[in-house]
Structure 1
């Protein structure tokens, strides 16, 4: 094979890899629909609940998971909805069951147990609040305090 063709192929492979990287980065944290996935409440830590819940799938070595955990905690306090975290290091069976391919992955589960929205990577706070409000929950701190009393 001539050197010029080999260099052309190598250059095309590099450009393709760069384009794939930009595409993957653009998809990170983007809100997706839940795909009619039903969550078994028994899979969530803390037992059975039947309320709107933010669930974060993480692992022990996930560098971005603590950041997402803090943000989800703030959103949970503001809206008064439940929050749970599943460590896939200990529960790897759930990664297969719920098609979790990266950490962090966040699910918003409605009261019926259906995944209303999901985010792969670091979600945008505004996107989470928008999805919660679509379920009829206000994000105002005043409402959260009233519901807790």
Structure 2
């Protein structure tokens, strides 16, 4: 293989990887529809949902961003009546990642009082995005 061809392939791979990284970064923390998922409170350590809504955070022990999201969701739930924050550790329950289609941590669900997933966030959600998702509940 000639050096020019190898350099061209390396440059093309670099451009492709950069493009994928930009797309993934732009999608991080954005609200998505919850679909037809229903959250079972028995899957969490505390099996009580909030009277208005519950913020369900899926995390793992090795997740670097999960403590930041835990603090954000905990303080957000403390500031709003009828809102609860529940954390589910997928390290000890990997079966839940398949059931709830969680591909990365942190992932946050906004669950209504009946257990229906109304919105989901991949990555760290913003307070503004949480407020928008909760107005729909």
CA contact (8 A) 1:57 1:105 kept: yes
Hey, what does 1:60 align to over in structure 2? 61
Contact 2:50 2:84 in 1 (8 A): no
Deviates more, 1:105-114 or 1:2-11: 2-11
Q: Is the 8 A contact 1:88 1:95 kept in 2?
A: yes
Matching residue of 1:104:
106
Aligned to 2:128: 126
Q: Secondary structure at the match of 2:110?
A: strand
Gaps in structure 2 of 5+ consecutive residues: none
Structure 1 residue 3, shift from structure 2 partner: 2.8
Query: TM-score scaled to structure 2, two decimals?
Result: 0.91
2:55 counterpart SS class? strand
In structure 1, the residue matched to 2:85 is 83
1:44-101 deviation digits (Å, cap 9, x = unpaired): 2212447311000111111111111111011101112111000111111111110111
| Partner residue of 1:93 out of 78, 92, 95 | 95
> How far apart, in 2, do the equivalents of 1:113 and 1:89 lie?
23
> Which structure has the highest helix share of the two?
1
Kindly report which structure 2 residues correspond to 1:8-23, keeping only aligned pairs within 5 A, or say none: 8-23=8-23
Partner of 1:29: 29
* TM score, norm. by length of structure 1: 0.84
Count of aligned pairs between the two proteins = 135
> 2 CA distance for matches of 1:107 and 1:24?
19
Q: Which runs of 4+ in 1 moved over 4 A?
A: none
Secondary structure of the residue that 1:128 maps to in structure 2? helix
Residues 33 and 105 of structure 1, relative CA distance in 2, 3 Å threshold: same
